[in-house]
Structure 1
Amino acid sequence: MFKSASYKLVSAVAKSHSAQSCSAFYATVRGFRHEPEHPEDIEISSENDFIVSILRANPSARDAKSYLASFGARPRSVSVPIHPPPPLLPDPQVVRDTQPAVEEPKPSPIVSSILDPVHHRTALVKVQGPFTNRQLDSIARGIVYLQKLGLVSVIIVEQDQVPRGEEGEREVILEETTRVVEALEKQGARTRPVLGAVVRLGPIPGQDTATRQSCAPVPEAHTYPSDLAPIRSALRTGEIPVLSPLALDSFCRSARIDANDVIAALARGMVDAAEYDRAQKPVETITRPEIDVDLTPMRLMIINREGGVPSYARSGLPHLLVNLEAEYKYVHDTFQSSWKATHPTALSNLALAHTCLTYMPPSSSAIMVNHRAPSSMIGNLITNKPAVSSSLPHALLQGNRSLTSNTPTILRRGLSVEVVRDCANIDKAKMTRLLEQSFGQVLDSDTFYARLEKDLDFVIIAGDYAGAAVVTRETSSSNPSAPPIVYLDKFAVLPSHQGDGTVDFLWVALHDETYGLGLPFSVNLNGGKEGRGEGQDLVWRSRSNNPINKWYFERSSGHVRMGDWVLFWCDGEKRLKTEEGRRASAGLSYVEEWEHGRITLWADVVPKVPSSWKKLHEPNKHGV
């Protein structure tokens, strides 16, 4: 059963479309129950499949609420009619002639959806061809479905097989733009081809120096709010603007440039224009919200034939989620030369996402997706998450049949990740604020930090204390000779950052510093051990009624219930690979020698770890 928020999401989407026959819907749902191994390879072919694509996204309650907050109808002020007061001494004749009040009919759901429209947002979409007509139809169908969900695309067309400077390139690009327009209109969309230049060559005069000093990437083109008039006009009339990669030079001549430069200029220019709009026209003065579109792009979509960026950790399969703030350089540096033949534009598209997301809101994301997976764009829009979580165990990811070369790469601006090993380097005020907001309890600061002074192994800090993982080394009082337990004492993310990828970024860094150590894909470049060392078992506990336990079950190697608590652990992965090779020749053993007695030791030590919270009230049921 779907949670209430998910049900509202599907209902809100379904409400805005024509009703389908019961038999057709049943046939679609019946087919949905027997999904193919690779559902992303199935082209969306009907209105019912649009709804099924939403269901395949499997949005959580938080995902649905986030979607509705961005695209749901905005509350309106309701004017209450003022009736004149009745006369003090009513005329008997008037009373006799008065008829019973007739209740006004309520508007139909269709009328309600018109009166209470979906709030539209924009996406920058790079259609990186060449594509066949059938491939363009599939891409266009996905873009049209995104528009129905409230995300209106601003499309920039690129043709990789026509080098810049080649004779006749302009005609080829304009023809490709026309093909995209025809494909969209074939799917029922209203389009507006913008064949003139809306960007200008070079950085913004007078602003490039300050931007370069801030280390932010500077687009090689720029645009002013007045240049965006064709795009703004198209969006306000419900049309999808389709642009060619053209720019004006200093002599006002139109020339073809790299589509990435056009997109980067639009990303920055549309954000500036939206801020200008808000300053000139406050929200409360908008009289017709159904035709107003927020110019601030909330998605960057790169649709090509290559798919996502290949990952060194997945044998060439795509990266699932990239934290650009912490991983951009490393993803770039680990790109193997053999991939240049199969993914020739992966690095340039990675750089494009890095530039655009620098200027787009922090909640924005980019997706690099193969043209064979149009439904992935719907899933990303609703959940803003990768198809498969990047923090799942690597063994689970490697054996996941849904992880293919067509799986898209999601990119977020993300947060910096830092490993701190000295308690003196912890900002205690910010750490306290993080823990108290995350757990909803009052920290016993003196006791907590005194224990860290003695037992701290390391702390992983995401951003400016938006999240943190506190790891200690716990020893056994009954068995002092036993090796210390690597214990996850606190794992916390600010409520404002829950659902934006911070949890996965933090857990991946935790993996690289503990049970993932020693493997080539566990190289943490944030002040940690950088993959050098032996992986060690990671142990932690959580209250048995903690809602996050489902997430822990998926990432742990095992668990044991201990009264009101659940003990979780992750086995050291390097040791597991060694044992895996040994068992191939020695046979399977259900309990290995190194496993004997360890759970007994953990069950003895972990319950004795003191609480970190002041007992001012009933303990939070979901505390760890």
Structure 2
Amino acid sequence: MLPRTLHATPKIKPCLNSRSAQTFKAFYATIRDLRHSRNAPEGGDGEPADDDFIMSILRANPSLRDTRSYLASFGPKAKPTPPREVRPERNEQTDVPVATEARPPDVAPQPQSPVIASILDPIVRRTALVKVQGPFTDKQLESIARGMIYLEKLGLLSVMIVENDQMARGEENERSAIVEDTMRVVGALEKQGARARPVLGAVVRLGPNPGDEDVEERDFAVPEAHTFPSDLVHIRSALRAGEIPVLPPMALDSFCRSVRIDSNHVIAALARGMTEAAALERTEKPGQARESEVPSDDVDLTPMRLMIINREGGVPSYARSGLPHLLVNLTSEFSYIKETFDPQWKGSHPTALSNLALARTCLAYMPPSSSAVMVSHRSPSSLIANLITNKPAVSSSLPHALLQGNRKLNPHTPTLLRRGLDIRVIRTAAEIDRPKMKALLEQSFKRSLDEGPFWERLEKSLDFVIVAGDYAGAAIVTREECPPNAPPDFNPITYLDKFAVLPSHQGDGTVDFLWVALHDESYGLGLPFSANPNGGKQGKGEGRDLVWRSRANNPVNKWYFERSTGHVRMGEWVLFWCDAEKRLKTEGAGRANAGLSYIEHWEHGRLSVWADVVMKIQSSWRK
């Protein structure tokens, strides 16, 4: 459904002045027609060639937050400086004094951007674990090698483990065959100008890590291999020399023989071993207690990315007819994805579930900021976007209708996986942890909560609260009664009172996880793709229009515009809403090719009712 401008508008109540009425006419937009899917033509404005490194960076389109996050990991560590006086400068065009610190970056750009300079010449070098899941042709390996070089230029050094799905374990001459595959990858890297080092000796040992037998049962598969810091000497040496270590999936057995094992066990053992070795190094070096602090001439062994490059692409999604999942919350979605995995996908995606389990295990050992990506060999430049933004190619919280028609969503779209948080739904105000909710709201909005009236209001009108993790994020939804003069068939208004995420969790997927759960619990109810494991109604029920308001100058509004069905500006406020998707689908299907009109019978007068109720809700903040 694409936004369209109205040619007719409902009557607005007299309480809204004429200027507001004009605003309704000018800005009322509703997502309607999805019958015309707009696919990009071949060539023309299509995606730029993967061999253009700079264009690949630009195509990632990083936001300011993305850039700051990237520089926090790879850029120089700024030393704290005392506050300095803001001196006025002259604006050459207007001759009006302007504070230097307030000048937007596009008014007077510097000759050389420090952001671009830092991206192209990173100070800190970090590591990624890369599973090269073949077999691949020489041309395909060339594409993969090019992606690895992209990452190396951005400061991410890959530790590559080579797998061949068509080579059964135990075959005659399998060792020489897997070594040959490893050397082909090394050769492909060197042909592209990279420095690569084959590490043909086993660096992991068969069997669980000593001491694991005493640990309580975990919610992920414990690796059936392990490694000690001393075993990583060849990997560490290669990384420090600026070389990409390439390993076959070999392990030492109890007789010190080098045997081939499942590459997933090797990768999981390395994820744990490299993380632990890096932590040990920091404790041995005073003044480097934080994860981000490593010498500029060294390499942080802690893996910050797991990359699975295969011929399958991402994990097929039940919500998108087999097209890949965009973003997976492993904590809350892992079991459900396995349960809803269509048996027919086993032919086209035979290793999707095993790779899903691999990501879950590795991310359990890697830092919380880490992520995993499952990507086809056809999309090497998408690895750049993942590194710089740490976000999926297309946001999973966009309206399902827009995702269906999005040209970026195809069988080769990568799947991004995060450790994530558990999601649960609270139905009564008594179940809310008030101190934690207060801390979340105040840190997110940077304002002081007027607690008395706020809690009193929730006790009377709370519909539900969706909580992510230990109050890392929350969506508070209330039921607002319609005024007496509203049409008799009007239901109570489902109002999004607060949507908040802790600053420390903004950018780690929590926002999308929370909005998807909100969708499933309100305007997405009743449709199959709303049956996500978010602790709520599991998609059962009738969808309800979701309404909320936001200050007109709120920088988050761009994000709201993309996810709402429509909006209307009302002075200093913007009123947003999401139509119940099941009703839109039913109405549209009933009219076949005629589609929906601009104003349906159930839409007449609702904006007036919503405005009358929502704009009278008192602020929750202290003045």
State the TM-score, normalized to the length of structure 1.
0.84
Please state whether the residue corresponding to 2:528 is helix, strand or coil. coil
Paired residues for 1:186-265 under 5 Å: 186-210=191-215, 212-265=216-269
**2:185 is aligned with 1:180:** yes
- 5+ residue gaps in structure 1? 1-33, 79-108, 616-624
| 2:162–2:246 CA contact under 8 A, matched in 1 | yes
Q: CA deviation at 1:476?
A: 2.2
Question: Which amino acid letter does the alignment assign opposite residue 124 of structure 2?
Answer: H
Tell me, what secondary structure is at the counterpart of 1:535?
coil
Name the CA shift for 1:254/1:308 in 2 (closer, same or farther; >3 Å). same
After TM superposition, give the deviation of residue 144 of structure 1 in Å: 0.8
Q: Which one of the candidate residues 328, 332, 343 is aligned to 1:322?
A: 328
Select 1:357's aligned residue among 363, 366, 372: 363
Give the TM-score normalised by structure 2: 0.84
Question: Aligned in 2, Cα 1:318/1:36: closer, same or farther, shift over 3 Å?
Answer: farther
CA gap 1:284/1:593 in 2 versus in 1, 3 angstroms: closer
How far is 1:588 from its partner?
Answer: 4.4
1:65 partner amino acid: R
Task: Look up the equivalent residue of 2:349 and give its one-letter code.
Answer: H
**2:169 corresponds to 1:161:** no
1:393 aligns with 2:361: no
2:527 counterpart residue number: 519
Maintained 8 Å contact 1:43/1:138 = no
Q: Is the contact made by 1:138 and 1:374 (CA closer than 8 Å) also made in structure 2?
A: yes
Q: What is the alpha-carbon distance in structure 1 between the residues aligned to residue 43 and residue 438 of structure 2?
A: 47
What one-letter code is carried by the residue in structure 1 that aligns with 2:258?
A: S
Secondary structure of the 1:289 match is coil
CA distance in 2 between counterparts of 1:467 and 1:587 reads 38
Q: Which amino acid aligns with 1:233?
A: S
The one-character-per-residue Cα deviations of 1:73-107 (angstroms, maximum 9, x if unpaired) are: 234799xxxxxxxxxxxxxxxxxxxxxxxxxxxxx
Shift of 1:589: 2.1
Partner of 1:373: 379
Task: Check the 8 A contact 2:333/2:532 in 1, yes or no.
Answer: no
- Structure 2 distance, partners of 1:349, 1:242, is 19
| CA deviation after TM superposition for structure 1 residue 282, in Å | 3.1
Query: Is residue 327–residue 418 contact of structure 2 (8 Å, CA) maintained in 1?
Result: yes
Shift of 1:38: 5.3
468, 475, 479: which is aligned to 1:473?
479
1:135 maps to 2:135: no
Partner of 1:277: 281
The answer to whether the 8 A contact 1:43-1:374 is kept is: no
- Alpha-carbon separation, structure 2, partners of 1:542 and 1:265: 47
1:288 Cα deviation after fit: 9.6
Structure 1 residues 117 and 564, CA gap change in structure 2 (3 angstroms): closer
Instruction: Give the total of aligned pairs.
Output: 544
> What CA deviation, in whole Å up to 9, does each residue of 1:565-622 have, x standing for no partner?
000000000001101111216664221111111111101110111211111xxxxxxx
Report if the CA contact (8 A) 2:588-2:596 is conserved: no
- SS at 1:608 equivalent: coil
Q: Say if 2:488 is the partner of 1:485.
A: no
Answer whether contact 1:121 1:152 (CA < 8 A) is retained.
yes
* Residue in structure 2 matched with residue 30 of structure 1 by the alignment: none
Q: Secondary structure at the match of 2:197?
A: strand
In 2, Cα distance between the equivalents of 1:570 and 1:287? Answer: 44
Asked whether the equivalents of residues 196 and 244 of structure 2 are also in contact (C-alpha less than 8 Å), the reply is yes
Among 443, 450, 457, the alignment partner of 2:449 is 443
Which structure shows the higher helix fraction?
A: 1
Instruction: Determine the C-alpha separation between the residues in 2 that align with 1:573 and 1:76.
Output: 51
Report 1 or 2 for greater relative contact order, CA contacts < 8 Å, sequence distance ≥ 6. Answer: 2
Is 2:317 the counterpart of 1:304?
no
The answer to whether the 8 Å contact 1:74/1:119 transfers is no
Report the 3-state secondary structure (helix = DSSP H, G, I; strand = E; otherwise coil) of the residue aligned with 2:424: strand
Distance (whole Å) between structure 2 residues aligned to residue 179 and residue 489 of structure 1: 57
- Tell me what 1:68 maps to: 71
Task: Give how far 1:537 is off.
Answer: 0.4
Shift of 1:207: 2.4
* Secondary structure of 1:436 counterpart: helix
For 2:601 and 2:618, the matched residues in 1 are separated by: 31
Report the alpha carbon displacement of residue 540 of structure 1 after superposing the two structures with TM: 0.2
Does structure 1 residue 50 correspond to structure 2 residue 44? no
Say if 1:397 and 1:288 are closer, same or farther in 2 by CA, change over 3 A: closer
SS of 2:530 mapped into structure 1: coil
Alignment gaps of 5+ in structure 2: 1-41, 82-113
**What is the alpha-carbon distance in structure 2 between the residues aligned to residue 168 and residue 335 of structure 1?**
35
Give the counterpart letter for 1:239 in structure 2. Answer: E
Report the Cα distance in structure 2 between the residues aligned to 1:541 and 1:61, rounded to whole angstroms.
Answer: 25
8 Å contact from structure 2 (residues 477, 497) kept in 1:
yes
1:573 corresponds to 2:581: yes
Confirm or deny: 8 A CA contact 1:146 1:152 kept in the other structure: yes
Change in Cα spacing, 1:463 to 1:77, as seen in structure 2 (3 Å) is: closer
**Secondary structure, counterpart of 1:533 in structure 2:** coil
Whether 1:461 and 2:461 are equivalent positions in the alignment is no
Q: What's the offset of the Cα at 1:214?
A: 4.1
Corresponding residue of 2:608:
600
The answer on whether the counterparts of 1:199 and 1:223 sit within 8 Å (CA) in structure 2 is yes
Q: Is the contact made by 1:520 and 1:531 (CA closer than 8 Å) also made in structure 2?
A: yes
C-alpha distance in 1 between matches for 2:283 and 2:269: 21
- Of stretches 165-174 and 565-574 in structure 1, the one that deviates more from structure 2 is 165-174
Structure 1 SS opposite 2:128: strand
d(CA) in 2 for partners of 1:577 and 1:154?
Answer: 48
Deviation at 1:283, TM superposition (A): 4.8
What's the CA shift string for 1:460-510, capped at 9, x where partnerless? Answer: 000110000000000123337531000000000011111111100000000
Q: Relative to structure 2, which stretch is displaced further, 215-224 or 393-402? A: 215-224
Q: Is the CA contact (8 Å cut-off) linking 2:288 and 2:294 kept in structure 1? A: no
Task: Tell me the secondary structure at the aligned position of residue 521 of structure 1.
Answer: helix
